[in-house]
């Protein structure tokens, strides 16, 4: 099938201050920027000669954006300073229309050159603005099936428009000899920089050879000669037609710091040079997360890697960063619980590379189990997600790993107080690889700092590691990815009684949790079609042992698969359909006393059971895109899943969303749909739960409006109402069990719930020096366990969740940031009395009404300071991350006395400074 | 290790793991090992077994139609309360309630609340002769009911028959009382039956599991008496297990050491005996419970039965001074008691009344329990 990718060139018209005349060659499509002109002319002082544009630049409209249902269009306004050397600097976007187009606009403007402005004859800097218009190319038409043998003259043949002329090349003096050649590389990364401009002018004969650290532009004079060149894709350049003697070499590359050198050019000789340039601290587009926004979720939040790296309070952890978005409840003690829109942590799903992972963080919240630096994209969807996601009634986090770099071999060593991680990546043939690993050293450090009389023998102190191996290769017109990754957490300690001669094994506590996963992913695009096939195998192990009375071992073999196809039928219509197969075979061995209910004391029974089982959840799903008009699109979808043994139940989940472009910068989105998930395995087990329980259900409804403003500011507000039913509740009923015996029901699908609220996100994207956001959630989450109960608030119901985040990039590669959180306290069930369990020798609490109290309001300030040093071959980043700067004593739980007659506060984490360093090459 | 001990250890370990956080927060809360007011420490079930010899340990597990006596061990800063003091100062009332096999202690009444006091009948006398097992029908035993036989300080309950006992069910025995000179027992009982959400600090609620079994013996007896379909309740081990018995503390030796670690005296106090020691000295205590009293008992598994061992869990309490440890877990248990003012003791080098008391409660991991205590007259 022919490549129907359109290439449309848009010419950028720069309206420099006071320069109303045509700039450069006549563009094919030119759009003026009257705001710029008027603003500058109104303030033009006497004696000012405006700068004069010397060249023009062509910017291509990105094909990926052009394929969107509603490609972004409009004018990007870039603010810049034209230096006394005619080179633009301090570029920032004042009016944004799309992150990708903003980037292209900034890059294009950075390549423009001016004859500097003068004031009374002296060169001066000018601050001005440029407007760059973007118009998407015509939409693609579907490939006719089958292709006609001969063109039908009655139907127009749609063909790619002819390529626009290439950007005007630099025009060195072709007659002169090559006097200087070399390569431009990025400092610290050693990657070639294409499109850099190399300007060579005579230097003061007394100038010292080497890099010029400071330059007095006021002393500039008109150069006697000037030569210029541009670097090619490999960063190489050749300069011809220069004079002889000492020369000043100026390297200008968009998004990079300007550097200057003094070189000696001798008559008849050619010099070979290598220059390293550093990224500009104001360059916001180093690793922007691209969002292919096909599925118009009602509220989908994304965060860029550049933002994650400097987010206070998260130690640069991408998945922790998600916890700062609206709709996510604050977890006690900074744990890694993801309670989304008033649902429990088990109600949301985390996808990593198209399949779920069993755990997101080491030891429940310390750091995520997947290296944040090899993540391509994180989508956080708190509700009304697409039909491709199933087995969840809360929210979705979808993490997509990236490919290894192909621009050379790179890597880093990253250390902080908990662990050290390494990454190595590079090309392999036409493909790429990335290998990464991390290991904690708490097990080495803790015994050193733990007092000898602490009563703990740390046989294995808390220890974790994780690894990732990614391999990508182009195959058959598509891309083949082979991924292997895993995580391993272990702890073993023995609590020593002071009057024990030796530590007693009966006082041991040990946990092990690890998983290993292997994926194959094949993706391919063929005209309007795109395909995905991905099988996956995962091995999980979980072990818990307390003394010699409780042991729990769970081994799970997970075999999953997904196949998906998408067709862009017309400009406005598309359809996706796919199938997902989840299956797991588990073996569990338990030796434990049974868990009494919430008011229970000691029990006289002991479980000693080995159980195995198999469950499969095959599902079919489809989502359509129906563009009613250019501004209004429906996304109907449905997911049909079958839950095999022990459930043997099918679910039918219809879902509908819409997106309505009310104005250029205003989008209204809404959705309604049904969602299902299987109960937890223990709840459905014959031995511990109730095999009669079925899937839990929810209907999610949301309506949101999104408005963008200048300066990269977005405001998004979403109202939601979710109703939950058939949710699992503990049950003390005595019933006839499926095997005919009489026994406790344990669990039943009797719980219903309702969650409603409003989420607001005001966000300044990382353009210029500043980024940050204000996230606010107002919500209420309630549950009713049985029809005879009253509604009560949910365990993690938090009425108000306010998060303020800001980060500012300072000169010399300094960055400072802060995060402040103000959150309603979690509900709490008070203890109103106690009963002495004379069999066990301890007190049992007598609880009051469930969740009838709240802990005090939580508030905390975190700060972060980063400093980077960039050298030719490597770079070093040092950061200080301080959590809970003013050491707020936020109450997370009550600590009761042994007889529950008195209580004291258990505060959240105290002030925790964390220092980390990262060496990159 | 079985459930009660296990739960206690789980709680201990959970607390231990959060030690760094709790350390600062737990300051000021009462210390569990310090007896500062009237507290129940144990209730021992003693099955009336005319056939038992004096040397045999007393059974803590009863079969239906046997009678079990509940003996409370309640203490205050001045010593263990006598049975008369329990009866007159606390005025206890006792409830019996059938526990389902996996129910935790305390849930039997809680799951049946709210109840009116008038709806709780007296536990009826069980008449073995009126039962014809061949009919498969048994007289219904009200649950909960109030135990009115025996004395208020040592009630006695004749075990009824309930099908739930065949699969691990037991009886939850609850003592309800008021603290000395505070509140009254009827109000406390009413609050408990209402669900306990209005629990009163002037009340004492103490629950003890009265084990009914062993299950295998029950099943065997039920089969002998003609109860049909016994197989549905599970297999019977080839060797019928012995009933759970109460452990016995064999000896208590106290050695007094001065500030220079010189041994200055040795005592072998009997239960409740008074010894004399000097303030500032250390008392090293050594107590032995026979290892032979630890029983082996079968646990039902998917593959049949597996044997479990009982394990000792000793808890130590004092009214004054400071203990090296609050617990021990071996047949030979050691502890040290410094006769110096403890963290939460009142000012002064001597205890109130110049007398301090140590209590020791020994459990076997099931329902067996024994206790010991002695007083120390502390001198300058």
Residue A519 contacts residue A535 (beta carbons within 8 Å): yes
B267 touches chain A (CB under 8 A): no
Tell me how long chain B is: 380
Q: Bigger pLDDT: A294 or A708?
A: A708
Q: What are phi and psi of A15, to 5 degrees?
A: -105, 90
Residue with tokens 């099988």: A535
Asked if the Cβ–Cβ distance from B197 to A849 is below 8 Å, we say yes
- Positive or negative CA dihedral for A64, A68, A74, A77? negative
Radius of gyration of the CA atoms of chain A, in A: 31
pLDDT band at residue A221 using 50, 70 and 90 as cut-offs: low
The answer, yes or no, to whether residue A22 has pLDDT greater than 80, is no
Q: What is the DSSP string of A227-249?
A: EEEE--TTSEEEEES--SEEEEE
Hey, is B16 helix, strand or coil? Answer: helix
Greatest Cα pair distance, chain B, in angstroms, is 75
**pLDDT band at B23; cut points 50, 70, 90:** very low
Q: For position B8, what pLDDT does the model report?
A: 37
Cα-flanking dihedrals φ and ψ of residue A673, to 5°? -170, 165
CB contact under 8 A, B301 and A832: no
pLDDT-derived band at A310 (thresholds 50, 70, 90) equals: low
List, in sequence order, the alpha helices (H) in A604-709: 681-684
pLDDT of residue A657: 95
pLDDT of residue A597: 53
- pLDDT greater than 90 at residue A149: no
Q: Which of A762, A759, A760, A728 is nearest to A746 (CA)?
A: A728
Determine the pLDDT at residue A56: 72
| A216/A239 Cα distance (integer angstroms) | 25
Going by DSSP bridges, is the β-strand pair A831-837/A842-847 parallel, antiparallel, or unpaired?
antiparallel
pLDDT in tens, B243-277: 999 999 999 999 999 999 999 999 999 999 999 99
* B340-356: pLDDT as tens digits: 999 899 999 999 999 99
CB A518 within 8 A of CB A484: yes
Banded model confidence at residue A271, pLDDT cuts 50, 70, 90: confident
**Residue B158 pLDDT level (bands cut at 50, 70, 90):** very high
CA neighbor of A338 nearest in space, from A288, A298, A378: A378
Counts of helices then strands in chain B (DSSP H, E): 6, 21
Measured CA to CA in angstroms, residue A156 lies from A6, A141, A161, B331 at distances of: 17, 11, 13, 97
pLDDT value at residue B144: 94
Mean residue pLDDT of chain A comes to 81
Contact status, residue A868 vs residue A876, Cβ threshold 8 Å: yes
Q: Of all helices (H) and strands (E), which one includes residue B111?
A: helix B107-112
With a CB cutoff of 8 Å and minimum separation 6, the contacts of A854 are A824, A825, A826, A827, A828
- Would you call A839 and B367 a contact, using CB atoms and an 8 Å cutoff? yes
Contact at CB, A603 and B105, closer than 8 angstroms? yes
Query: Does residue A159 have a pLDDT over 50?
Result: no
What radius of gyration do chain B's Cα atoms show?
Answer: 22
Report pLDDT for A876.
Answer: 93
Q: In what order do the strands lie in the sheet with A245-252?
A: A210-211, A259-265, A245-252, A197-202, A227-230
Burial A798-823 (b: 16+ CB within 10 A, else e): bbebbbbbbbebeeebebbbbbbbeb
Which chain A residues are Cβ-neighbours of B206 within 8 angstroms? 835-836, 838
Look at A549 and A832; give whichever has higher pLDDT. Answer: A832
A604 vs B contacts (CB less than 8 Å): 2-3, 99, 168, 170, 209, 211, 366-367
Q: What is the mean pLDDT of chain B?
A: 86
pLDDT band at B195 (very low <50, low <70, confident <90, very high): confident
Q: Is residue A124 very low, low, confident or very high in pLDDT (cuts 50, 70, 90)?
A: confident
What's the pLDDT band for A173 if we cut at 50, 70, 90? low
Alpha carbons A260 and A215: distance in angstroms, whole number: 9
Q: What percentage of chain A reaches a pLDDT higher than 90?
A: 41
- Comparing A767 with A401, the larger pLDDT belongs to A401
β pairing state of A742-767 and B145-147: unpaired
Confidence of residue B17 (pLDDT cuts 50, 70, 90): very low
Percent of chain B with pLDDT over 90: 59
Sequence-distant (6+) residues with CB within 8 A of B146 are B93, B94, B95, B96, B120, B121, B122, B123
Predicted pLDDT at A38: 31
pLDDT for residue A137: 74
Nearest to A511 by CA among A493, A486, A487: A493
Strands B203-212 and B61-62: parallel
**Mean of pLDDT values over B328-336:** 90
Q: How far is B30 from chain A (nearest CA, A)?
A: 6
Residues 472-501 of A with CB under 8 A from B: 495, 497-500
Residues A242, A52, A253: CA angle, nearest 5 degrees:
55
Quick check: A596 pLDDT over 60? no
Q: Would the CB atoms of B2 and A497 count as touching at under 8 Å?
A: no
Instruction: Report the DSSP beta bridge partners of residue A419.
Output: A440
Q: Which of residues 502-521 of A touch B (CB under 8 A)?
A: 504, 506-507, 509
- CB contact under 8 Å between A838 and B42, yes or no, is yes
Q: Work out whether the CA dihedral B256, B258, B261, B263 comes out positive or negative.
A: negative
Contact A596, A615 (CB under 8 A): no
- The answer, for A570 touching chain B at a CB cutoff of 8 Å, is no
Question: pLDDT tens digits, residue range A57-109?
Answer: 777 788 777 777 777 887 788 888 887 777 787 777 777 788 778 878 887 88
- Average of per-residue pLDDT across A791-820: 92
> Taking 70 as the threshold, does the pLDDT of residue B130 lie above it?
no
Long-range Cβ contact pairs of B334-338 (< 8 A, separation 24 or more): B334/A499, B334/B284, B334/B285, B334/B286, B335/A499, B335/B284, B335/B285, B336/A499, B336/B282, B336/B283, B336/B284, B336/B285, B337/B282, B337/B283, B337/B284, B337/B285, B338/B282, B338/B283
pLDDT exceeds 50 at position A353: yes
Burial A314-325 (b: 16+ CB within 10 A, else e): bbbbbbbbbbbb
Between the ranges A75-89, A271-285, A697-711, where is the mean pLDDT highest?
A: A697-711
pLDDT at residue A806 tops 70: yes
Task: Express each pLDDT in A222-260 by its tens digit.
Answer: 778 888 888 998 899 999 888 888 888 989 887 788 888
Least confident of A52-66, B134-148, B159-173, B328-342: A52-66
A736 close to B (CB below 8 A): no
Q: Point out the least confidently predicted range of A250-259, A603-612, B186-195.
A: A603-612
CA dist., res. A644 & res. A650, Å (int): 8
CA atoms within 13 A on the CB side of B221: 14
pLDDT of res. A766 = 67
pLDDT at B147: 97
Contacts of A185 (CB under 8 A, 6+ apart): A191, A192, A193, A235, A274, A275, A276, A277, A872
The H or E element spanning position A10 is: strand A9-11
What is the ipTM metric for this complex? 0.93
**Beta strands, E only, A394-455:** 396-401, 410-415, 419-428, 431-440
User: d(Cα A828, Cα A491) in Å, to the nearest integer?
Assistant: 30
Q: Does A853 touch chain B (CB under 8 A)?
A: no
Structure confidence at residue A282 as a pLDDT band (50, 70, 90): very low
What is residue B110's predicted lDDT score, i.e. its pLDDT? 86
- A872-893 confidence digits (pLDDT tens): 888 899 999 898 999 999 999 9
Contact A877, A866 (CB under 8 A): yes
| Separation of alpha carbons B348 and A722, rounded Å | 63
Percent pLDDT > 70 in chain B is 88
**What pLDDT, on the 0 to 100 scale, is given for residue B187?**
92
Asked if A645 is an interface residue toward chain B (Cβ–Cβ < 8 A), one would say no
Question: Residue A288 above 60 pLDDT?
Answer: no
pLDDT of residue A608: 78
Segment B28-40 shows an average pLDDT of 94
Closest Cα in chain A, distance from residue B311 (Å): 10
**pLDDT score of A863 more than 70:** yes
Size of interface A-B (CB pairs under 8 A): 241
CB B365 within 8 A of CB B299: no
Where are any strands of DSSP class E within A506-606? Answer: 508-526, 529-546, 550-568, 573-592
Q: In this complex, is the C-beta atom of A594 within 8 Å of any C-beta atom belonging to chain B?
A: yes
Pick from A594, A741, A907: which is nearest to B102 by CB? A594
For residue B63, give the nearest of B205, B165, B184, B189 by alpha carbon: B165
Predicted local confidence at residue B210, as pLDDT? 96
> Is the pLDDT reported for residue B298 higher than 50?
yes
Over range B61-81, report the average pLDDT. Answer: 95
Q: What is the pLDDT of residue A23?
A: 27
CA–CA min distance A751, chain B (Å)? 18
Residue labelled with tokens 């910017």: A59
Name which of A595-609, B38-52, B273-287 the model is least confident about: A595-609
Q: What is the pLDDT of residues A489-547, one digit of tens each?
A: 998 876 666 555 555 666 678 889 999 999 999 999 998 999 999 999 999 999 998 87
Range name among A72-86, A429-443, B107-121 with the lowest pLDDT average:
A72-86
Of the candidate ranges A306-310, A725-729, A794-798, A874-878, the one whose mean pLDDT is the lowest: A306-310
Among B127, B156, B150, residue whose Cα is nearest residue B139: B127
* pLDDT tens-digit readout, A394-428: 999 998 899 999 888 999 999 988 899 999 999 99
Cα B159 from chain centroid? 19
β-bridge partners, A413: A422, A919
pLDDT value, residue A152:
40
**What is the C-alpha separation between A239 and A273, in angstroms, rounded?**
11
Q: Are strands B313-318 and A114-115 parallel, antiparallel or unpaired?
A: unpaired
Q: Binning pLDDT at 50, 70 and 90, where does residue B304 land?
A: confident
Lowest mean pLDDT among A63-67, A828-832, B142-146, B183-187: A63-67
State the burial class of residue A448 (Cβ atoms within 10 Å of its Cβ: 0-12, 13-18, 19+).
Answer: exposed
The residue-averaged pLDDT of A261-269 equals 84
């Amino acid at each position: 099938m022919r490549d129907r990718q359109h290439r449309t060139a848009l010419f950028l018209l720069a309206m420099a201050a006071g320069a109303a005349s045509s700039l450069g060659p006549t563009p094919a499509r030119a759009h003026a920027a009257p705001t710029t002109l008027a603003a500058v002319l109104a303030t033009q002082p006497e004696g000012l000669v405006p700068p004069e544009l010397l060249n023009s630049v062509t910017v291509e409209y990105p094909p990926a954006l052009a394929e969107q249902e509603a490609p972004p269009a409009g004018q990007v306004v870039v603010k810049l300073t034209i230096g006394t050397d005619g080179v633009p600097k301090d570029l920032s976007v004042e009016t944004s229309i799309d992150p990708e187009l903003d980037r292209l606009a900034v890059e294009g403007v950075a390549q423009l050159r001016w004859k500097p402005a003068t004031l009374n004859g002296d060169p001066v800097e000018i601050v001005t603005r440029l407007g760059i218009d973007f118009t998407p190319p015509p939409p693609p038409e579907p490939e006719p099936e089958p292709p006609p043998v001969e063109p039908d003259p009655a139907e127009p043949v749609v063909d790619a428009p002819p390529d626009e002329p290439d950007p005007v090349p630099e025009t060195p003096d072709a007659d002169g000899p090559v006097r200087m050649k070399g390569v431009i590389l990025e400092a610290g990364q050693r990657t070639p920089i294409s499109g850099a401009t190399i300007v060579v002018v005579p230097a003061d004969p007394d100038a010292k050879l080497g890099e010029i650290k400071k330059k007095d532009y006021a002393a500039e004079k008109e150069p006697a000669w000037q030569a210029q060149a541009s670097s090619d894709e490999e960063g190489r350049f050749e300069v011809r037609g220069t004079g002889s003697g000492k020369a000043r070499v100026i390297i200008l590359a968009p998004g990079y710091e300007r550097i200057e050198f003094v070189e000696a050019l001798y008559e008849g000789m050619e010099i070979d040079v290598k220059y390293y340039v550093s990224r500009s601290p104001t360059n916001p587009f180093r690793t922007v997360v691209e969002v292919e926004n096909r599925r118009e979720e009602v509220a989908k939040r994304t965060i860029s890697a550049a933002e994650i790296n400097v987010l206070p309070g998260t130690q640069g952890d991408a998945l922790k960063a998600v916890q700062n978005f609206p709709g996510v409840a604050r977890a006690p003690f900074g744990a890694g619980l993801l309670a989304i829109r008033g649902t429990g942590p088990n109600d949301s799903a985390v996808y990593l590379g198209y399949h779920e992972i069993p755990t997101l963080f080491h030891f429940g919240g310390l750091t995520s189990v997947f290296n944040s630096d090899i993540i391509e994209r994180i989508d956080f969807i708190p509700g009304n997600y697409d039909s491709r996601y199933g087995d969840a009634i809360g929210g979705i986090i979808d993490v997509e790993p990236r490919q290894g770099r192909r621009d050379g071999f790179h890597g880093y060593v990253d250390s902080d107080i908990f662990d050290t991680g390494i990454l190595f990546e590079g090309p392999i043939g036409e493909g790429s690889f990335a290998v990464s690993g991390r290991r904690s050293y708490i097990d080495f450090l803790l015994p050193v700092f733990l007092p000898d009389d602490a009563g703990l023998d740390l046989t294995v102190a808390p220890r974790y590691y994780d690894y990732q191996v990614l391999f990508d290769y182009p195959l058959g017109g598509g891309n083949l990815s082979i991924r292997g990754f895993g995580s391993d957490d272990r702890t073993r300690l023995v609590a020593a009684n002071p009057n024990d001669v030796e530590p007693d094994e009966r006082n041991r506590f040990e946990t092990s949790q690890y998983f290993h996963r292997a994926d194959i992913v094949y993706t391919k695009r063929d005209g309007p079609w795109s395909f995905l096939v991905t099988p996956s195998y995962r091995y999980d192990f979980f072990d818990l042992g307390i003394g010699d009375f409780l042991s729990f071992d769970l081994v799970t073999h997970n075999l999953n698969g997904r196949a998906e196809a998408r067709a862009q039928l017309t400009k406005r219509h598309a359809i996706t359909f796919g199938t997902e197969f989840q299956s797991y075979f588990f073996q569990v061995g338990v030796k434990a006393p049974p868990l009494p209910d919430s008011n229970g004391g000691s029990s006289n029974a002991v479980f000693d059971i080995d159980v195995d089982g198999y469950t499969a959840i095959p599902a079919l799903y489809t989502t359509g895109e129906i563009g009613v008009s250019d501004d209004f699109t429906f996304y109907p979808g449905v997911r049909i899943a079958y839950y095999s043994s022990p459930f043997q139940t099918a679910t039918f989940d219809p879902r509908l969303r819409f997106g309505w472009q009310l104005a250029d910068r205003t989008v209204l989105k809404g959705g309604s749909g049904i969602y299902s998930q299987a109960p937890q395995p223990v709840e459905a087990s014959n031995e511990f739960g109730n095999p009669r329980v079925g899937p839990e259900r929810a209907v999610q409804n949301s309506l949101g409006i999104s408005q963008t403003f200048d300066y990269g500011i977005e405001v998004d507000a979403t109202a939601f109402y979710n109703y939950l039913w058939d949710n699992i509740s503990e049950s003390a009923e005595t019933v006839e069990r499926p095997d005919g015996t009489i026994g406790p029901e344990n669990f039943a699908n009797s719980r219903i719930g309702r969650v409603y609220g409003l989420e607001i996100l005001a966000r300044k994207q990382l353009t210029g020096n500043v980024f940050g956001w204000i996230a606010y959630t107002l919500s209420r989450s309630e549950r009713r366990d049985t029809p005879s109960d009253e509604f009560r608030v949910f365990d993690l119901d938090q009425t108000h969740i306010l998060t303020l985040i800001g980060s500012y990039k300072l000169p010399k590669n300094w960055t400072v940031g802060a995060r402040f959180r103000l959150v309603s306290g979690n509900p709490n069930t008070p203890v109103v009395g106690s009963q002495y369990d004379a069999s066990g020798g301890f007190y049992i609490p007598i609880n009051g009404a469930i969740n009838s109290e709240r802990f005090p309001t939580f508030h905390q300030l975190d700060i972060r300071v980063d400093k980077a040093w960039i050298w030719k071959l490597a770079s070093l980043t040092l950061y200080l991350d301080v959590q809970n700067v003013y050491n707020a004593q936020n109450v997370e739980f009550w600590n009761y006395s042994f007889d529950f007659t008195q209580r004291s506060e258990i505060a959240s984490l105290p002030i925790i400074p964390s220092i980390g360093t990262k060496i990159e090459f | 290790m079985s459930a009660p001990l296990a739960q206690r250890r789980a709680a201990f370990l959970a607390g231990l793991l959060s030690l760094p956080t709790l350390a600062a927060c737990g300051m000021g809360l009462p210390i569990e090992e310090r007896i500062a007011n009237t507290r129940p420490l144990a209730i021992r079930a003693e099955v009336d077994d005319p056939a038992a010899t004096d040397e045999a340990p007393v059974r803590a597990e009863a079969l239906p139609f046997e009678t079990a006596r509940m003996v409370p061990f309640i203490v205050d800063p001045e010593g263990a309360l006598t049975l008369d003091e329990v009866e007159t100062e606390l005025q206890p009332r006792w409830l019996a309630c059938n526990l389902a096999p996996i129910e935790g202690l305390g849930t039997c009444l809680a799951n049946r609340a709210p109840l009116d006091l008038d709806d709780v009948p007296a536990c009826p006398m069980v008449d073995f002769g009126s039962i014809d097992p061949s009919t498969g029908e048994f007289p219904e035993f009200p649950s909960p009911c109030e135990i009115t036989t025996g004395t208020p300080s040592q009630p006695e309950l004749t075990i009824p028959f309930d099908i739930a006992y065949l699969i691990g069910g037991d009886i939850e025995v609850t003592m309800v009382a008021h603290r000395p000179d505070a509140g009254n027992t009827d109000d406390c009982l009413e609050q408990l039956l209402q669900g306990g959400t209005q629990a009163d600090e002037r009340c004492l609620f103490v629950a003890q599991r009265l084990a009914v079994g062993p299950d295998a013996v029950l099943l065997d007896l039920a089969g002998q008496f003609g109860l049909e379909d016994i197989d549905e309740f599970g297999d019977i081990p080839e060797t019928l297990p012995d009933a759970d018995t109460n452990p016995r503390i064999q000896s208590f030796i106290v050695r007094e050491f001065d500030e220079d670690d010189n041994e200055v005296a040795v005592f072998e106090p009997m239960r409740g005996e008074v010894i004399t020691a000097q303030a500032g000295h250390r008392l090293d205590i050594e107590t032995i419970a026979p290892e032979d009293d630890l029983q082996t008992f079968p646990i039902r598994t998917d593959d049949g039965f597996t044997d479990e061992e009982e394990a000792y869990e000793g808890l130590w309490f004092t009214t004054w001074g400071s203990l090296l440890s609050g617990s021990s877990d071996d047949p030979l248990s050691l502890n040290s008691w410094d006769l110096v003012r403890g963290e939460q003791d009142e000012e002064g080098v001597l205890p109130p009344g110049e007398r301090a008391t140590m209590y020791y409660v020994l459990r076997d991991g099931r329902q067996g329990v024994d206790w010991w205590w002695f007083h120390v007259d502390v001198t300058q």
